[in-house]
Amino acid sequence: MVTLAASSPSGQSIAIIKNDPFNPYLRLLQAIEIVESNGDSTAFNKSTKATGILQVTPILLKDYNRRTGKHYKLKDCYDPKIGRIIFLFYCMKSPGIDFEKISKCWNGKGKQTEKYWRRVKSNLK
């Protein structure tokens, strides 16, 4: 939160308070960063070609670029800010704020998503 105060020659004053934006997905984002890369923005998975702190895969990036008109390359996902932008884009596409559903979708499909969700849930702070 930032507070600014100003006063006029007449002695009247005004205070402007600016709150930091609330991110309802912040806890989930941080937990998935731990599960995916242990917070390492230089992480790379050779078998899936997943890149960065959130392990963005080529197919996910292609879908993101198609939907948004962006032109990110996989190497751009080493920048945590870009990885987070992509992750939050998909969070906001999910109806409601359902951490379990979002986690499982981020991980993929099938039985492994249950194990993945347990790992994410154990890292939620």
Q: What is the pLDDT of residue 96?
A: 84
**Mean pLDDT across the chain:** 90
Average pLDDT over residues 109-114: 92
Record the pTM: 0.81
Which structural domains are found in the chain, ordered by start? 24-123 (1.10.530.10)
Model confidence band, residue 17 (pLDDT cutoffs 50, 70, 90): confident
Using alpha carbons, select from 82, 111, 105 the residue that is nearest to residue 28.
Answer: 105
Residue 6 has pLDDT above 70, yes or no: no
> Which tens digits make up the pLDDT trace of 73-99?
999 999 999 999 999 999 999 888 999
Each residue of 8-43: b (16+ CB within 10 Å) or e? eeeeeeeeeeeeeeeeebeebbebbbbbbbeeebeb
